[in-house]
Every structure is written in structure tokens, then in C-alpha cells.
Chain A
Amino acid sequence: MKLTEYRVGEIMTLVRRPVDVSPDGLYHEIGIRSFGNGVFHKPPVSGEELGAKRVFYIQPGDLLFSNVFAWEGAVALAAETEAGKIGSHRFMTYRVDTEKADPRYLLRYFYGGPGLLTIREASPGSAGRNRTLGISNFERQLLRLPTVNEQRRISDKFDATASLLAQFKTLRTRSSRIAQQYMDALLQPLDRAPLSAALQANSDFVEVNPEVTYSTAGMFNRGRGLFHRPAIMGRDTKYPRYNRLHVGQFVYSKLFGWEGSLAVVPPEFEGVHVSHEFPTFDIDRSAADVEYMSHLARWTGLHDALKDKGTGMGSRRQRVNVDRLLATEVPLPKLSEQRRIARQLTMVRRTAELGEEQTAHIASLQEALLEAAFTGRL
């Protein structure tokens, strides 16, 4: 790829279009998201509210930089939807010389390519808030660009891909929603029984020894399960005793039960400690299937049922006590039926997990595309 060297000031020009603010006019301000995530529109304000703020018109085709956050990729390209919108003096509106450069190419060059370094060179402050992009410094910086035709070719490819990726995200979201509804469709129609029919409280309390290191866990809300916390010395905790988890137990958080902090303990949490605020229960194998219970713990239907089971005042004090939890009615058919349903839910859950892996791959694909684009491999 043949590259030509330009100064920033040779390929784009700062164009300011001051707005003559009238107090009863209505103005639509824009903002720019960091990391190349585009323009957003703020709620409209009257001229009076704008007060003495200096504002400027945006025009479609402007290459926009937030001079405060440009160093973290707050760069955008104004589209038709930005016609007539305004931005504060913090937003620099550049017109690109299209004989030399394709604005779409420059956009990606600046937020995700070598241009980000150029911006940082011209944003001298040290602390985040002070790293303001200096205009004259920026315009003196050197850029190396391929021919404008090559820039267009790369940008076309990028646009096409971006459109497909957007579509991918829509479908991915749709797929997880259907998976969620599948869970409802299987569980909702079943006969119900209180959780006490399946659970028996059983905690394995251990006295905390100041000299011993304990592996501990916390729990995500909305049924997303347990997570490991850093190991802690006994002397560093305020708890006099810990509850030791055992595989296959049902556990919940009294504090956040109302938000769906429930789980069945998976093998990797065997022997891990939680505070006494996390009551544990043995699952009665003659009444309930462990795998089935782990799905119930993730089910929004149960989370919803616990929402108003909190006692006490204020969101942080809404403890769900053990009696209330055990009295909560859940779908609980006979054991063979539970096993059948659990198998199906596990399969759909697995597809959802694979979907999450896809989403992660797509995220790295976006990185890889940028990398490829600016190393002549796209």
C-alpha cells in the first residue's frame, strides 16, 4: 500500500458556524461517544437555557472531535440526522478535503487506527480531564494515508461489514429473548408447590480463624450465579463465622434475593465460603432434581415472585428472610418431568452461552477489522 504523508491541516479544515441564539428558539445539542461509538442527541433546550454558552452548527459530513475526549476516540462523522443540530465549543467541526481523503476513512483512522496516537500526541495534559486536544498542535501532526480511491475501497468494505454486524446484534438479542421465553413457556404451565417442598435449610458454619486464608464467593443478581472473590485472611474479615458451600446446595442472598441473587452451587464452588447473609439449603433429591433447581434459580419468574418479598425499609435493607423464600411457590412437577424439562432448558441455555461466545468473537472481529484496515490487509 502506497502511503502519502500529509499534515492534518492539509487534509481538513476547522470550520466554525456560530449560532445566533435567540432566547425562545429550540436547540438540539449533540454529544460524541468515546471509542468511535458515534453521535448522540441531547434533549432539546430553549435558547434561554443555553444562556451564554457558545454554540456552533453541525453539518452533515463534518468530522467531529470532542476536544476533551478525542484522546479516547471521541470522534464521529456527522450524518444527515445531524443537520441543524448544534454543538458546544468543545466540539470541533472539520471539513475534509475529499480530493485527498475519504471522511469515513479518517473517522476510523482517528478513533481506531494510527490517528489515535496522533490525537494523543496533540493532547498534552496528563490527568484524563486535562488531555485536551490542542488545535494548532493537532493540525501540525503528520498523517500517512493511502490514495483516496484506496481509502474509499476500505471504507466501503467497512460500511458493509458494519451494517452486517449491526444486523448480527439485532438477531443475537432476538435469539436470547426467545431463549428466555422458551424457559417461561416450559415452566409457567406447571403445577406449583412452595420451595419448602424441595429445600431444607442446612448451613455448614465455620468459626473464622484469624490465621487462616479463606476462599470466598459473592453472587450476581438476576440468577447469574456465584463468582469468586479474592482469598482473604481470617483477621481481615469482620465476620465471626463463614458459611461453607457444598456442591448441589441451593444458596441465595438475603440482601439481594429480591433482585434474583439465587444459585445452585456448582462443583467449582465446593468448600468456598460465603457470609451468614447467604443461607444454604440441601435439595431433597426425592422431591427435586438438582439441575432443574439450578434452572429455577435463573428463572425470571422466580425473581419476579421474590421482588416484593423483602422486609425492612429502603432498597438496601430489603432482606428476604428464609421463611418467605421457602413459602414462595414455584413450578414443581414430579421428578421425572423435572428431569425432562431440565434437560431441555440445559440445551437451550447452552445455545445461549454459545451465542455469548459469538458476541465476544464479533467484538474481537471489530478490532481485527480496524487492525487489518490500517495495515493494508483489508
Chain B
Amino acid sequence: MAPPKAATATTSRARLASLIKSARDTMRKDAGLNGDLDRLPQLSWLLFLKAFDQRVEKERAVISPERPALIEEPYRWQDWAADQDFSGDDLKKFVNDELIPYLAALKGADGDAEDPRNVLSTIFRDVSNRMQSGTLLRDLVNLVDQIHFDSSDDIHTMAFVYESILKEMRDAAGDSGEFYTPRPVNRFMVQQSFLKHGETILDPACGTGGFLVQAYEELRAVDTDSQRQRLHASIKGIEKKPLPYLLASMNLLLHGISAPQLVRDNALLRMRDATAADRVDVVLTNPPFGGEEERSVVEKFPKGYQTQETSWLFLHAILDQLKQGGRCAIVLPNGSLFASGENSIGARIKQKLMRECNLHTIVRLPQGAFAPYTQIPSNLLFFDKGIPTQEVWFYEIPLPEGRRGYTKTKPMRVEEFEPCVQWWGGEKREGREEGSHAWKVSATDIEKAGYNLDIANPHVGEDLDHRTPQELVDELLKTEREILGLLEELREGLGELA
């Protein structure tokens, strides 16, 4: 029998899931919404307002009752959303003509970077109510009002549920180049970055805020209010698109950061325009790849490094964005590691990376770690700025025994990183040894190979003689999956038919 605590969590997760299902059914009836791509934003901004009411306003009222509410009457959730009789065209008109414009025009108090109203207005500048029926809108608001964000268990549950909707939306959208980072990968990268209090942490492509939340979780044990404020201020994200921005804000809000340091902007432009004061200690990110950038953005980069490939632009910008001694953990696809063509800009950026930074570790993830979003094989690169690379350690995370890949229902698990964490050798990376999954390559050899970092594990690599038919078929499957991933990457890169 399951312990009672787990049983409660399951119930509440199931309850939430069923509320959200009802919400989606309600939205399906409305003529103004087409598909999940319309429905999710609608649900998200309502959830956000509810969460904001409970997590920020109510807590604020308890902690400092003398300070006025951030959202004024009659725009508070309790004023309009909790009133069940407020419905139909009146409600629709209020939301469209008053509420959203009011929220979009909010401004934080001067000089108060912590004021959440700035986040609110940034979010609501891009929000519109797409529902045409005020009555259905009322039904939806009622459903959202039943969701509570009181206990931290509920917050986790909510985060879980909304990430799962988000996943579905990604499936529906097939957004090129943007892939939701699985939680175990977030966690592993944060863990192996050995974060410390007082360090500034940036995810320039923060999406829904997975890395930032994980980093916050890692550091959240602080003693005083001022320490907490400093911590909140040190976790920064940039996101270009409105919906992920909203979701990231909500994600951080739900985890207890009332004024998330999130910027909605083109991260590449922002990083290129950054000054020395904007540099950070740690970058944790999974940048979009295969995407294309506008020429004006590309031209912000030095001549020899101009390319449309967003992952290269991100890597280049991050090199500048890090302080001396700063650290970075970044997700890159196999194709980027491989890029070594004679005129390849990728090779040039990798050369710059290895000359300016110590690229100490590359963790090769198993095929399908990002399934079902993509089969493109991915890698985690860890580097420190300031010292040139002497040698690069590679660690290959194998698929769990007997598994042939990951699926939606059987995704990658945190424990699969455990042997790599053991091998890592702590913050100083002490006592690393070569083994069946770990090997090292000197910077000179990498340079000779034209900066091709797609280096296969020599311990399983080419010497396939004397292997059993079973092992060989496994190897064959692995190669074919790699081919499949590669072809998918190729397809991504070609974009839509012109």
C-alpha cells in the first residue's frame, strides 16, 4: 500500500487534472478559440491572475498589511472573478476593455526592481481575451477559481500539471528548435554547476523557466529576508515569446519568487548590447537550435561569426556575457558538436570557446532524451571562462539496461545521472578516470580534427569484433536511431517549404 502522503498528492494531482480538463472542454465550446494553441494562453493568463492573487497579494497582505494592494479595486481577482453573478457580455466587456488594459498599464514604484507590477504589465501587454462568449468565460473563471495555490504541495502539482499541458501544446505546435528540457536534465546541469549564494544566474532562453526554478530550488535555503531578496534578484531569465514568458513568470511566482527577474526581449540583441555590469557568474540554458535570426540581429555579431544558426549565436553571446571565471552549462545537439567544415562558422565558434574557456566536460545524452519532442541526440557542455581548454572529458550516459529509448510515459529519470555525478569528482572534478563511459581527448587533437567534438566513445566505438550478435544488433539500432535523429535535425534546419 502506498503511504498516505503520496496518496494525497495523487488525489490532488488528479483533481487538478480533472479541473483543467473541464476548463479545456469549456474553452472548446467557444467560437473564438481554435485548438490548444489558442486555449493554453487563455487558460494561462487566468491561472496566472489567480496564482498572483493567492501567492503574492494575500501573502503581502499578511506580511505588510500597511502597504496597499498591488492590483487595485475593482481589478482584484476577488472583485470580479469571485463574483459568480458577473457574467455574459458585461464580464466580457469588463475583461476586454478595462481589466486587461489596466494590467498592461501597471507600473512599479520608482526604483523598486522588486515590484511585481512590472512583470504584470509586461505579461498583459501581449494578452488578449480570445473568448467570444462571456458566459463561457464565466464558466472558465469559476473553474480556475477552484484551483488553490496555498500549500507548496499544490504549487508543485500545479507546476506539474501546467508543464504537462505545455508539453501537449508543444506537440500541437511543433515549434521548430524549441524543446522542453526534461526535468532530470535541468537538475543535473544545475547540480553540476555548483551554484553558490551571491552568484548571478542567467538563462537567456529561459522558456518556461525550468533551469531558473531548479537553480532557485538549489539555493533557496537562506536565513534572512535580505538574503532572500538578493537571491530572488540574482536569478535572471530572458525569453522572446509572450506565452513562455507568461508561463515562466507564473512558474517562478508559484515557486515563491514574487517579482521574477524576467525580461521579454530578444536575448541575442540584449546580450550583444550588454555592458560589463550585466555580466553574470553562471549561465544555464538550452538555446533554440536550427532556428533562424533576422539579419539585423546577426549583424550585431563580429564578421567572422555571423550565422543564422541560433545555437551558435547564443554560444557566442554567452562567451561575452560571462564574467571572468564564470561558468556555463549548455545543451547542444550532435550536429553542432560535429560542425567542422572548412568554412564552418560552428568550428570557428568552438575554436573561440576552447581558447577563451576551459571546456572541461561534455556529457553525451542517450538517444531520445528529449523524446517525444525530438529524437535529435543532444549533449551537455560545461565550461569555465578564463583559461584555455587543455583537454575535454567526455561522459556518455547509457540508456538504462534493457531500454531501447525513452517515451512519453517512460521518460528519462534523475537516477540515470547518478553514475556520472559519482564520476564527476565534485566541484574540483578530482579523480576522474577513463572507463567504459568516460574518455578524454586533448585540445590539440580536437583542433587537428577541425573542432569536431562529436567524438564517439572509444571504449565501445569501432572495435566491434568479437561482439555477440545481440550486442551488434543493439549497436545497429543505436546507429540507425542516430541517423533518424540526424535526418530530423536536417528537416528542422530546412524549415518550411518556401
- In chain B, positions 262-312 with a C-beta closer than 8 Å to chain A are 290, 292, 295, 306-309
Q: Which residues of B contact A171 (CB under 8 A)?
A: 479, 482-483, 486
Contact B341 A164 (CB under 8 A): no
Q: Does A79 contact B (CB under 8 A)?
A: yes
Cα distance A372–B498 in the bound complex, in angstroms:
9
Contact A77 B343 (CB under 8 A): yes
Q: Which residues of A contact B308 (CB under 8 A)?
A: 153, 156-157
Closest beta carbon of chain A to B216's beta carbon, Å: 35
Q: Which residues of B contact A240 (CB under 8 A)?
A: none
Q: Which of these, A79, A153, A157, A351, contacts B480 with CB under 8 Å? A: A351
Contact A149 B295 (CB under 8 A): yes
Q: Does A378 contact B (CB under 8 A)?
A: yes
- Could you say which of A19-27, A123-131, A177-185, A291-299 contacts chain B? A177-185
Closest beta carbon of chain A to B404's beta carbon, Å: 15
User: A164-B486, A178-B479 are known contacts. Are A185 and B342 too (CB-CB below 8 A)?
Assistant: no
Q: Which residues of B contact A311 (CB under 8 A)?
A: none
Q: Does B476 contact A (CB under 8 A)?
A: yes
Cα distance A166–B340 in the bound complex, in angstroms:
10
User: A163-B340, A164-B335, A182-B473 are known contacts. Are A157 and B493 too (CB-CB below 8 A)?
Assistant: yes
Bits for A141-167, please: 1 = Cβ < 8 Å to B, else 0. 000000001001100110111111111
Q: Does B402 contact A (CB under 8 A)?
A: no
Closest beta carbon of chain A to B434's beta carbon, Å: 22
Q: Does A273 contact B (CB under 8 A)?
A: no
Q: Does B344 contact A (CB under 8 A)?
A: yes
Q: Does A168 contact B (CB under 8 A)?
A: yes
Q: Which of these, B343, B465, B493, contacts A181 with CB under 8 Å? A: B465
Contact B476 A178 (CB under 8 A): yes
Bits for B324-361, please: 1 = Cβ < 8 Å to A, else 0. 00000000001100111111111000000000000000
Contact A156 B342 (CB under 8 A): no
Q: Does A285 contact B (CB under 8 A)?
A: no
Closest beta carbon of chain A to B291's beta carbon, Å: 11
Cα distance A184–B464 in the bound complex, in angstroms:
11
| Residue of A160, A166, A175, A185 ringed by the most chain B CB atoms within 10 A | A160
Closest beta carbon of chain B to A102's beta carbon, Å: 10
Q: Does B454 contact A (CB under 8 A)?
A: yes
Write the chain B residue with the least CB distance to A153.
B308
Closest beta carbon of chain A to B349's beta carbon, Å: 13
Cα distance A376–B498 in the bound complex, in angstroms:
8
Q: Does B490 contact A (CB under 8 A)?
A: yes
Contact B486 A168 (CB under 8 A): yes
Give the size of the chain B interface in residues (CB under 8 angstroms).
40
Q: Does B467 contact A (CB under 8 A)?
A: yes
Q: Does B475 contact A (CB under 8 A)?
A: yes
Q: Which residues of A contact B335 (CB under 8 A)?
A: 160, 163-164, 167
Q: Which of these, B309, B468, B498, contacts A156 with CB under 8 Å? A: B309
- In chain B, positions 470-498 with a C-beta closer than 8 Å to chain A are 472-473, 475-476, 479-480, 482-483, 486-487, 489-490, 493-494, 497-498
Interface residues on A, range: 35 or more
Contact A179 B342 (CB under 8 A): no
Cα distance A178–B462 in the bound complex, in angstroms:
9
Cα distance A164–B468 in the bound complex, in angstroms:
31
Contact A178 B341 (CB under 8 A): no
Q: Which residues of B contact A164 (CB under 8 A)?
A: 335, 338, 486, 489-490, 493
Q: Which of these, A159, A182, A186, A376, contacts B345 with CB under 8 Å? A: A159
Q: Does A334 contact B (CB under 8 A)?
A: no
Overall SS of chain A's interface: helix
Cα distance A348–B308 in the bound complex, in angstroms:
40
Q: Which of these, B306, B346, B486, contacts A152 with CB under 8 Å? A: B306
Q: Does B419 contact A (CB under 8 A)?
A: no
Write the chain B residue with the least CB distance to A376.
B498
Write the chain A residue with the least CB distance to B493.
A160
Q: Does A316 contact B (CB under 8 A)?
A: no
Contact A185 B309 (CB under 8 A): no
Contact A178 B464 (CB under 8 A): yes
Q: Does B3 contact A (CB under 8 A)?
A: no
Q: Does A81 contact B (CB under 8 A)?
A: yes
Bits for A305-318, please: 1 = Cβ < 8 Å to B, else 0. 00000000000000
Q: Which residues of B contact A177 (CB under 8 A)?
A: 464
Q: Which of these, B306, B469, B483, contacts A182 with CB under 8 Å? A: B469
Q: Does A16 contact B (CB under 8 A)?
A: no
| Residue of B292, B343, B483, B494 ringed by the most chain A CB atoms within 10 A | B343
Cα distance A171–B479 in the bound complex, in angstroms:
7
Contact B343 A159 (CB under 8 A): yes
Closest beta carbon of chain B to A167's beta carbon, Å: 5
- In chain A, positions 309-335 with a C-beta closer than 8 Å to chain B are none
Q: Which of these, A79, A175, A344, contacts B469 with CB under 8 Å? A: A344
User: A157-B493, A167-B335 are known contacts. Are A377 and B483 too (CB-CB below 8 A)?
Assistant: no
Bits for A347-378, please: 1 = Cβ < 8 Å to B, else 0. 01001000000100000000000001000111
Write the chain B residue with the least CB distance to A147.
B295
Closest beta carbon of chain A to B312's beta carbon, Å: 9
Q: Which residues of B contact A344 (CB under 8 A)?
A: 469
Cα distance A172–B469 in the bound complex, in angstroms:
19
| Residue of A81, A159, A378 ringed by the most chain B CB atoms within 10 A | A159
| Residue of A162, A166, A167, A351 ringed by the most chain B CB atoms within 10 A | A167
Cα distance A254–B307 in the bound complex, in angstroms:
59
Cα distance A145–B264 in the bound complex, in angstroms:
37
Q: Which residues of B contact A172 (CB under 8 A)?
A: 483
Write the chain B residue with the least CB distance to A156.
B308
Contact A160 B309 (CB under 8 A): yes
Contact A178 B475 (CB under 8 A): yes
Contact B306 A161 (CB under 8 A): no
Q: Which of these, A81, A162, A167, A348, contacts B476 with CB under 8 Å? A: A348
Cβ contacts A to B, 11 pairs, < 8 Å = A80-B342, A152-B306, A153-B308, A156-B345, A157-B493, A159-B343, A164-B335, A167-B338, A171-B483, A182-B469, A344-B469
> Which residues of B line the A interface, CB within 8 A?
290, 292, 295, 306-309, 334-335, 338-346, 454, 464-465, 467-469, 472-473, 475-476, 479-480, 482-483, 486-487, 489-490, 493-494, 497-498
Additional 19 contacts, C-beta under 8 A, given A79-B342, A171-B483, A182-B473: A80-B342, A153-B292, A157-B494, A160-B290, A160-B309, A160-B339, A160-B493, A163-B338, A163-B339, A164-B335, A167-B338, A168-B487, A177-B464, A178-B464, A181-B464, A182-B469, A186-B469, A348-B476, A372-B498
The 8 A-B pairs of least Cβ separation, nearest first, read A79-B342, A377-B498, A182-B472, A156-B308, A175-B479, A185-B469, A163-B339, A164-B490
